[in-house]
Structure 1
Amino acid sequence: MPHDPHLDDARKRIEAAYSPALFRDAGERLVAQLADHLQAVQASGKDVLPWRPPQENIARARQSLDEALSPDCPRDQLAARFAELAETMLSRGHNLHDPRYIGHQVPASLPVGGLFDAIGSVTNQVMAVYDMGPWATAAEWAMVERLGQRIGWPLGAFSGLATHGGSLANLTALLTARNVSLEDSWEKGISRRAPVLVVHSDAHYSVARSAGILGIGSENVVRVELDQRRRMDPQRLDERLGQLRRQGRPIVAVSACACATPTGAFDPLAEIAEVCRRHQVWLHVDAAHGGAALFSPRHRHLLAGLDRAESVVWDAHKMLFVPALCAFVLYRDRAHRFETFRQDAPYLFDPAAPGLAEYDSGLRTIECT
């Protein structure tokens, strides 16, 4: 076979890309860069948002892709190139760790949390089945237990999982609600009389999106009137549910807020839960923003009644200060954990070892990897 110089170049690039020595050099530079960046930002030594027009940043990103290095490039030059790219990212991003930052509803993540993120990224721990990410699965399992207990549910009675963000968490929980509330909807669809999703009038847009994705349709999202504090009015909810029942409309769920994204209003969950109990309707609570109030003796009363919800969404990447994306879907009844999906994938999920299904998150989440 004739010698192919392109294969030599490819081999050198692969060896460099997987070099532990290069990783050490680049990593040490990056940690120093990040520490210096945090120190400067926390001292308000930089602009909170170093604004540049989108096209300028896109042009710079394209330029970075075109700046290829030779496969024979020395290791220190490769590490220096990595440091240049890291500095570009730091200098062109917004600075959440600046004490003056109040721009968006995301927190300054705990820096050490970013290092844990790096472990998962470098070792590529995925969680569709237990043996693909045994420690990551264990960590998720333990966190679900702690959050469910914080809600007030007894250990062993509830279940849950992590997702990439609250929007995906809402979709997952509402898919479960649809499958439980509308029997055979997973297999046969929802072609019969159009079901409805009853929501807080200021519900996050991901709830309406979920209705579209799930085949409910945005026109069948029923928004309940609010009280003077922009909370869902339990009396109005009671009237709406009664009206829908009399019309014979299937109800997928009631989606309450704790708290509403635009206003910070916490719905009166205990009263809403009682209304849902009387009408035998699934109560879902979007606590993406406000779930962390359960850790506050001063503010946890805002979530009184959350323990009566069938499903709860809680974003850890908001007031728990972990890096995005990290959200949780929690089910009060652990029997609902496998209602989200009903599929057969024997190449992943071993029917000969059904006990391990408890730890195979691919059975319960929209995501696989």
Structure 2
Amino acid sequence: MNLTQAYSPEHFRQEAHQLVDVLADYLSNAQHQTLKSVIPYRLPEDNLDFWQADFEQGTGDPLTFFENVIQQSTHLHHPRYMGHQVSPPLPIAALAGLLTGMLNNGMAVYEMGLVSNPLERVLSDLLAKKIGFSPQSSGFLTSGGTLANLTALLAARAAKAPTDVWEEGHSKRLAVMVSEEAHYCIDRAARIMGMGSEGIIKIPTNNRFQMRTELLEEYYQQAQNNGLTVIAVIGSACSTSTGSYDDLKAIGDFCTQHNLWFHVDGAHGGAVVFSEKYKALVTGIDRADSVVIDWHKMLMTPALATALIFRNGDDAFKTFHQKAQYLWANQGSQEWFNSGKRTFECTKLMMSVKIYSILKTYGEEIFAENVDTLHDLAKDFVGILRENSRFELAIVPESNIVCFRFIDNGQNPETYNSLNAAIRQQLLEEGKFYIVQTTLREKLYLRVSLMNPLTQKDDLRALLAEIEKIAATIG
């Protein structure tokens, strides 16, 4: 196939029509549960062998390749997908991904982001308003919560470190304070920034796995006595393992008292700002200096698409102020339309187009509907679990994340960890459901993230029935 044929509009039209038909069939089969499995799990080596054999066959029909990709992938649109915190994207947003993949415009400079940069501004302003920030706030999109949280902590360092670390390097030992249940990316970001293990001050959690904010003062004073300069406190909204929300109001009060940067990692649970029913979970979020929210988790957008919003728009420009003459004529100006001045990324995906396609088609109400549906479903699941004495909740969930475990009164409780691990492994290998697991204070729990709004209570009952069936064979 030569280049002329490869770029042929008619060739593309034919392939695109075929692919859309295949994807529509996938959606239908997933929703009606006629797919063979939620996850076609195989050992890594077996999957590698499959694709190596495919590669050795040379060129072939792309449609066959696309069909193989669908068959070999985890099916997030299946109602019995209850695994990781990644949403089944809305079809309209996936189509927007096809559009942006073809256009392939970057976003670092305005000339390459004529559409995506203005749309990013519209979306950032909307999210800032939902958070409760003033019109002086500012934000942008970046590739995932890990990168967004790192960028926020770099902004905190620029604002609160005693010297200009960007130009002069570290003159003090810096530190941040965070819940022991916070996402691992906070720990990673602090280490990347040169804080070391001592610079990550982990605050214990209560019996609901929320930060014990009454301990903040004690740990802060201890850090100072150890020669550390604390620059920020990070609140989780919500934690990854249990979906627990920290007391953001109390953290905000503490940060105001000590002139510290207040950052909220709302990658997963921050989406409740769209919900009248559940937004009280993030009371105090408007006090934050910076907030991270993933559009690709609770807001039905293809990954990766994460918002980082600053209460003070000027802070968005202080993190990176290096020179790039070939990109910008005015190095020091604060230009929202040149996103490369505020992010790690230069050639950034047109992620704002995918998000805006949802907003334009359905309005912001669909975000609230999804959040409410998934949180309500978690409450329903709690009720179902409580009807069965062979299951134990870790905590009553605040979000759409539910941690529970199978218990058998006839067995030694010391075997529950291995029993539930074995149950989860067999579920994975069977592929009828996809759930994960987590360990909370040395107890292993099965963990469900209810990400698909088409999941029904009958699917949850079927999950528990399958777990009991597996447990009987293990016992």
TM-score (norm 2): 0.70
Letter in 2 for 1:66: E
Determine whether 1:336 maps to 2:325: no
> In the alignment, which of 9, 17, 21 is matched to residue 32 of structure 1?
21
Question: In the alignment, which residue of structure 1 is the partner of 2:44?
Answer: 54
1:89 is the counterpart of 2:78: no
Q: Is the 8 A contact 1:175 1:340 kept in 2?
A: yes
Per-residue CA distance 1:255-287 (angstroms, 9 max, x = gap): 110000011110110111001110111011100
- For residue 367 of structure 1, what is the amino acid of its counterpart? E
Separation in 1 of the partners of 2:5 and 2:44? 33
Structure 1 counterpart SS, 2:336: helix
Q: Of 197, 207, 211, which aligns to 1:228? A: 207
1:146 and 2:119 aligned: no
The match for 1:214 among 186, 189, 193 is: 193
Shift of 1:61: 2.2
Shift of 1:248: 4.3
Show the counterpart of 1:261: 240
Q: Report the equivalent of 1:5.
A: none
How far apart are 1:118 and its partner, in Å? 1.1
**Normalising to structure 1: TM-score of the pair?**
0.90
What is the CA–CA distance in structure 2 between the aligned matches of 1:14 and 1:184, rounded to whole Å?
Answer: 51
d(CA) in 1 for partners of 2:47, 2:9: 31
- Shift in CA distance, 278/354, structure 1 to aligned 2, threshold 3 Å: closer
CA distance in 1, matches of 2:288, 2:225: 24
Could you say what the CA RMSD is over the residues aligned between the two structures, in angstroms?
1.6
* Residue in structure 1 matching 2:112, options 132, 139, 151: 132
Structure 1 counterpart of 2:172: 193
Distance 1:67 1:19, change over 3 A: farther
Task: Determine the structure 2 residue equivalent to 1:366.
Answer: 344
Cα distance in 2 between the residues matched to 1:102 and 1:21: 40
Q: CA deviation at 1:221?
A: 0.5
Instruction: Report what 1:8 is aligned to.
Output: none
Deviation at 1:218, TM superposition (A): 2.9
Take 1:252 and 1:180, find their aligned partners in 2: how far apart are those partners?
9
Pairwise CA distance, 1:354: 4.3
Aligned partner of 2:157 among 161, 173, 178: 178
Q: Which moved more, 1:59-68 or 1:297-306?
A: 59-68
Give 1:181 shift: 1.4
Shift in Å, 1:100: 1.3
- The alpha carbon displacement at 1:353 in A equals 10
Answer yes or no: is the 8 Å Cα contact 2:142–2:305 preserved in 1: yes
Alignment of 1:313-328 (within 5 A): 313-328=292-307
Q: Within 2, Cα distance between the matches of 1:253 and 1:125? A: 35
Give the equivalent residue in structure 1 for 2:384.
Answer: none
Where does structure 2 lack aligned partners over 5 or more consecutive residues?
A: 348-475
Q: For CA contacts below 8 A with separation 6 or more, give which structure has more relative contact order.
A: 2
**Secondary structure of 1:250 counterpart:** strand
Q: 1:94-173 alignment to 2 at 5 Å?
A: 94-155=74-135, 157-173=136-152
Q: Name the CA distance, whole Å, in 1 between partners of 2:291 and 2:333.
A: 27
Report if aligned partners of 2:237, 2:282 keep a CA contact under 8 Å in 1. Answer: yes
Identity %: 38
Cα deviation for residue 246 of structure 1 reads 4.5
State the AA in 2 paired with 1:201.
E
Residues 297-349 of structure 1: per-residue CA shift (max 9 Å, x gap): 12110100000011111000000011111111111001101111120001001
Q: Give the partner amino acid of 2:336.
A: E
* Matched pairs, number: 345
Report the 3-state secondary structure (helix = DSSP H, G, I; strand = E; otherwise coil) of the residue aligned with 2:92.
helix
2:217 counterpart SS class: helix
Residue 252 (str. 1) matches residue 231 (str. 2): yes
Deviations 1:44-77 (A, max 9, x none): 11111112222222223233333334xxxxxxxx
- How far did residue 247 of structure 1 move? 4.4
Is residue 205 from structure 1 mapped to residue 223 from structure 2 by the alignment? no
Q: Distance in 2 between matches of 1:352 and 1:216?
A: 29
Secondary structure of the equivalent of 2:47? Answer: helix
Q: Deviations over 1:175-233 (max 9, x none)?
A: 1111221131011111x332111111111011111011111123320001212221111
Cα contact 1:151–1:294 (8 A) shared by 2? yes
SS of the residue corresponding to residue 293 of structure 2 reads strand
The reply to whether residue 13 of structure 1 matches residue 12 of structure 2 is: no
Distance in 1 of aligned mates of 2:111 and 2:180? 43
Q: Which runs of 4+ in 1 moved over 6 A?
A: none
Structure 2: which amino acid aligns with 1:49? I
Amino acid at match of 2:41: W
Secondary structure at 2:41's aligned position in 1?
Answer: coil
In structure 1, the gaps of 5 or more residues are: 1-11, 70-77
- For residue 264 of structure 2, give the secondary structure of its aligned residue in structure 1: strand
Deviation at 1:244, TM superposition (A): 2.6
Please name the residue that 2:383 is paired with: none
